[in-house]
Chains A and B, each alone.
Chain A
């Protein structure tokens, strides 16, 4: 017997501070002017996407002790842009990454509750952690947190924020002009929270927002991160965008829910995904190759290699062979402020793989980097991409995707205009919004 057809969830990620965002193309627009954000958000809303997603930066990335200048540098403040986008959209969810390490629960809770009010119930919070002293140099606390404590702090932070959101129930304000009674009772929003990380008390000053709590996203992939997501998140922003990895991750994360007393449909799995469209599959493949070369310049290839080798490789030719020197052991000191540093668990083994790939396919260093770093997730005609995305969702490799265009601001336009109508024709993606809040778009219940 066949099970019911799943509805796909789609989101638009504003292309950010990494080499996959192509700034050198003549069509590439501003990464900071508000008009770019409006363009992408309106394209997403025109296509009835679930939400718009904005990442966060708290320190400019550095390589070899200098600010990394090859990728996009600079971006706006998450909350401020999301609040402004609320003014130019009507239904689109507004999701933002906010760090739990260099913030305090009271302030973040009032910002998200405010955003939820100002967007009439469209706010979502991607809770991330960091621990590095490098980022801490911009904040009051400095580099105070041990790496192994970051998820515990994040979990406590989130649960503290929930106490604040829940400190107002929604029936406190009666505002009777005749009798002059504004509050039903004195002392609304009272809270007192004490644990190893937070010792706070008082009255929260934002009354309950339309969604009660913003939708919670989690993005970490470690075991601790997955447990955190399974226990506490409404959605997980994963990086497993291939079919097999996606299915494995999906089964793993959904399987963790029961022990927290949660059902599988209470956590939406949304991998990040990239795409390249063409009139034909062959044309899309050609375009994908051009884009990959834009994304990985010779200088960028050297920087990637330096992250892996953990040493200065600036004297090497990116169009020459893979460097013959061995990587340096120990803590990565060459690259700071980027998540990918931690990807290379076993440097020697990875370098060996790169060399083997280079010899087998006769590839230069740059071509190896193009090969091993993030080929686009979906490449093909609109029909091919629509069919592939639907297969992934129906076969539980995901519940949908957070799409990351490679270019600002028009990178989503073709997807919105060509792929989405095909998904709508298949009846697997909404033709119109049926709800007003992000929780309704994602099929999530209001918190009690």
Chain B
């Protein structure tokens, strides 16, 4: 019997938790959602639980229950901080856990984001990554005023012109990640030489123009930031259907998906593998993680009560793209191990409330999994790629230069 592959756990952080009424919980630190101390405490708790990494949600616009722009609600958390800066602020106060902020590919500059995440990788000594979100139109585009992109409503999602627009936005995101990744490689690892004899700080033959020319932007390079410690920080993407799966298959190291059950997970993993082959990345590791919203308690009944109470306070059952689980840590462990066998490498858990369900993960679930030999009992690597079993990639430009040289030698 082959040994079970390692199970990876990521924690998705957003405000007071993923349930819209989470901020009203007695233990919710609602007044501190914009304070560094709050975010530091959450990530340190996740690190005590030996989780692989945290993701930090972000959006350019104000949070909204509507798909296509701001809403008029006054009963939900509104206002947030830039996720990359939260990750950077927490980095020096943690040592092993990965830090994966969301970045939005529409409207922003790939050059800026590449250097920001490279720098996150430096300040965290190899624990940086990003979750890329495609841009959207309508209200988000109006914040930048650079392009007219139509708004999209949920009702229109299946219309051909909307499908075409969404495909374009994800194609732009793919170009964006391509530029970000090329810039990370635009310095070879040993480019800095400090050769006092010749007075040269760098060997400029080891700095590379990336010369990306695309439909939405052209970027010359090289980066201003030397190659980050991991070489390529982690790239992740969330997807619910083929278009984002394709982005993940083309560009990501981790794809988050939202299956309903193990069979659904198996089908989705298969689709991503097909897209991966089509993208020519069949031999590369692309981890698929399932997203789950979790309510945890000592008894299943208590967890169900918690969920019901929150739904009642919110005025409606929680709507969610991801499957919602309410149960004991042991029941959740059963589910994770069952779904893992469908080809998932891990899970991104969205705590319904913080800190209660976060601690349910770090103190309850993790212990359950450890007692079954299914989760690490100590961090086994110093970098995020290392935790995920991903090698430090060769530099595409160094490899190309080496190939040219060996051809010349022949």
Give A residues with C-beta under 8 Å from B. Answer: 23-24, 32-34, 38, 57-60, 66-67, 69-77, 79-81, 83-84, 86-88, 102-104, 106-107, 110-111, 113-115, 117-120, 137-140, 142, 168, 172-173, 175, 177, 180-189, 198-207, 297-300
Contacts known (A118-B36, A182-B23); A205 close to B79, Cβ less than 8 A: yes
Q: A-facing mask of B251-294, CB < 8 A → 1, else 0?
A: 00000000000000000000000000000000000000000000
Asked if B92 and A32 sit within 8 Å, CB to CB, the answer is: no
**Can you identify 21 A-B contacts, CB atoms within 8 angstroms?**
A34-B123, A58-B111, A60-B224, A69-B201, A74-B187, A79-B82, A84-B88, A84-B92, A86-B36, A87-B36, A103-B109, A114-B82, A138-B221, A139-B111, A142-B218, A175-B30, A180-B313, A183-B73, A189-B79, A202-B143, A205-B60
Asked if B313 and A139 sit within 8 Å, CB to CB, the answer is: no
B356 to chain A, nearest CB (A): 14
Contacts of B107 in A (CB 8 A): 104, 107
CA A83 to CA B83, docked complex, whole Å: 11
Is the contact region of chain A dominated by helix, strand, or loop, or is it mixed? loop
CA A202 to CA B64, docked complex, whole Å: 12
Which chain B residues in 208-248 approach chain A with CB under 8 Å? 216-222, 224-226
Q: A-facing mask of B356-367, CB < 8 A → 1, else 0?
A: 000000000000
Of the residues A102, A110, A300, contact of B199 by C-beta under 8 Å: A300
Name B225's closest neighbour in chain A (CB-CB): A76
Name A176's closest neighbour in chain B (CB-CB): B24
With most chain B CB atoms within 10 A of its CB, the pick from A118, A181, A188 is A118
Name A56's closest neighbour in chain B (CB-CB): B224
Asked if B34 and A177 sit within 8 Å, CB to CB, the answer is: no
Name A119's closest neighbour in chain B (CB-CB): B36
Contacts of B408 in A (CB 8 A): none
CA A168 to CA B80, docked complex, whole Å: 12
Asked if B30 and A186 sit within 8 Å, CB to CB, the answer is: no
Contacts of A202 in B (CB 8 A): 61-62, 70, 139, 142-143
Asked if B218 and A80 sit within 8 Å, CB to CB, the answer is: no
With most chain B CB atoms within 10 A of its CB, the pick from A83, A199, A299 is A83
Asked if A32 and B82 sit within 8 Å, CB to CB, the answer is: no
Contacts known (A81-B119, A180-B24); A24 close to B194, Cβ less than 8 A: yes
Contacts of B89 in A (CB 8 A): 83-84, 86-87, 118
Of the residues A32, A80, A198, contact of B85 by C-beta under 8 Å: A80
Of the residues A67, A70, A298, contact of B207 by C-beta under 8 Å: A67
B298 to chain A, nearest CB (A): 24
Asked if A69 and B200 sit within 8 Å, CB to CB, the answer is: yes
Asked if A205 and B116 sit within 8 Å, CB to CB, the answer is: no
Of the residues A84, A86, A173, A182, contact of B75 by C-beta under 8 Å: A182
Contacts of A74 in B (CB 8 A): 187, 192, 202, 224-226
Asked if A80 and B26 sit within 8 Å, CB to CB, the answer is: no
In the complex, whether B304 has a CB less than 8 A from a CB of chain A is no
Asked if B216 and A183 sit within 8 Å, CB to CB, the answer is: no
CA A363 to CA B77, docked complex, whole Å: 69
A266 to chain B, nearest CB (A): 28
Name A205's closest neighbour in chain B (CB-CB): B62
Contacts known (A138-B219, A202-B61); A58 close to B202, Cβ less than 8 A: no
Of the residues B73, B92, B199, contact of A70 by C-beta under 8 Å: B199
In the complex, whether B204 has a CB less than 8 A from a CB of chain A is yes
Q: A-facing mask of B312-328, CB < 8 A → 1, else 0?
A: 01000000000000000
Asked if A206 and B146 sit within 8 Å, CB to CB, the answer is: no
Asked if A60 and B222 sit within 8 Å, CB to CB, the answer is: yes
A54 to chain B, nearest CB (A): 11
Name B220's closest neighbour in chain A (CB-CB): A137
Contacts of A120 in B (CB 8 A): 35-36
A210 to chain B, nearest CB (A): 10
Asked if B122 and A299 sit within 8 Å, CB to CB, the answer is: no
